[in-house]
Amino acid sequence: MPKVNRGARALRQAAAWCAWRMARLAARLPARALIALLNGAERVMQATTKGKADVGQLRELRDLLRDDPKGREAVRRIILEARGPQFRAVLQGVLRHHVEAPAPAAPTFAAVAAFPGRQAAAPARIAFAGEHWEFPFLRDAYAARPDCRIVPAGEPADGVEIALDRPEAADLARQTMAAGAAVSLHAGPAADAATVAALFADAQSRGVPVRLFYSYLYFAPAVRLRELLAAGEIGELTTVRVRAVLGGKGAALSLAPPFGDWPLRHPAFDHFPLLTFLGGPAARLAAYVGPMDGAGGQALIGVRFAAAGRVGALECAYAPDMHVRSAFYPHDLQVEVAGTDGVIWLRRGMAETTQEPPLAVRAGRSAYTIGIESGMTGDWAEVYRAAAAEFVGAVGGRLVRRLGVAETISAFRLRDKVYDAATTPGVVELPAAGE
């Protein structure tokens, strides 16, 4: 992995801080003095800058401030009322993308936790408890590995994939951890925020690995998207938009439609972990959940994250007549994340609605895609192979923490409170993950 140029980063930060302070001072000047200042800056840039485009942009700003009093006051408010960190992030992005060389490749983000693990050299024994729509794909992934074998439920195992209703799931998880085995808990009826929090606390006290299984944590383009955000590729993150569509045709398999009182717990829509995976823990929630029946339905969830200036949305649509091509289920997913320096688009997930590269990035002056030409696979079957490999590693004492404990608990608090928010006018406050 290329090393980050810490000297250049420190210089950018110092220059952005100075520019921010100067911008705030300039915004307080009378209009005549401010325009004179911009005239002087234009003459300096004409003498020192080869590119005329930058001078033209400065001239446009000067003309706006001179000729449009409302525009002038709007610019003043933007500068004076903007959060300092966000404003400085914009300035650092300008320096990074328009002055310096391109940034190095993004670092990895996942934390690795070490546990005592199995001492035996025999293949890891993996059991499945309950029924889950992804279990057949996971079974195939485990069966293809020479370092593990699947054992029937109830027999001694080194790791257990659990998909049971409450409270059976929590009881079995505690029994499994008491025996020193690893736990992989699947969402659905098996988990709520309280169950997940207690499970992580119990796992920490016992020193055994536990993971909350969510398939997009193992989808290579989604992982790469998170890495780009961690590397600051688009500056300070400001918005996360997840668009989930459930179609009714075009896929090899199908699940029961999202009817009943809990439509957002349908696998096509249950993407609250993806919101916190990208945006961090959530602080506030507002929601509209419309009825979903044979004619379709919609839901919209708005989130304000705990990080200042960061918001998100989960848009869900059930379209039973829509043709969604997929080798698995007709669950279409697209993500758009925006920052102070640019935008990243995740174009597809489980469904193959497009043949385009799965990731597209617009950062500063550059635009590029990440697909098979970059070694990026969009093969959904790889999700289960990666998940199986990780859980076998956890049995051996090495767990990759893809989603932090705080983000995991926050995702389930969103999930638990979304229907309260849908029936409550205004906004629902969410407690911090540690509360």
CB 328 within 8 A of CB 345: no
Averaged pLDDT for residues 108-119: 68
User: How does pLDDT run across 30-67, given as a tens digit for each residue?
Assistant: 767 766 766 666 666 666 655 544 555 656 666 666 76
Q: What is the pLDDT of residue 287?
A: 96
Query: Could you give the CA distance from residue 98 to residue 51 in angstroms, rounded to a whole number?
Result: 11
User: How does pLDDT run across 245-282, given as a tens digit for each residue?
Assistant: 999 989 999 999 999 888 999 999 999 999 999 999 99
Q: What is the pLDDT of residue 54?
A: 55
Residue 2: pLDDT band with limits 50, 70, 90: very low
E-assigned strand segments in 27-186: 111-114, 124-130, 148-151, 159-163, 182-186
- Using DSSP, state whether 222 is helix, strand or coil: helix
Q: Is 80 exposed, middle or buried (0-12, 13-18, 19+ CB in 10 A)?
A: exposed
Query: Could you give the CA distance from residue 41 to residue 48 in angstroms, rounded to a whole number?
Result: 11
Q: Is 374 exposed, middle or buried (0-12, 13-18, 19+ CB in 10 A)?
A: exposed
Residue 435: pLDDT band with limits 50, 70, 90: low
Domains and CATH numbers, the chain: 6-98 (no CATH), 111-216+387-403 (3.40.50.720), 221-379+410-429 (3.30.360.10)
Please provide the average confidence, as pLDDT, over all residues in the chain. Answer: 83
Considering only 134-143, 164-173, 338-347, 349-358, which range has the smallest mean pLDDT?
Answer: 164-173
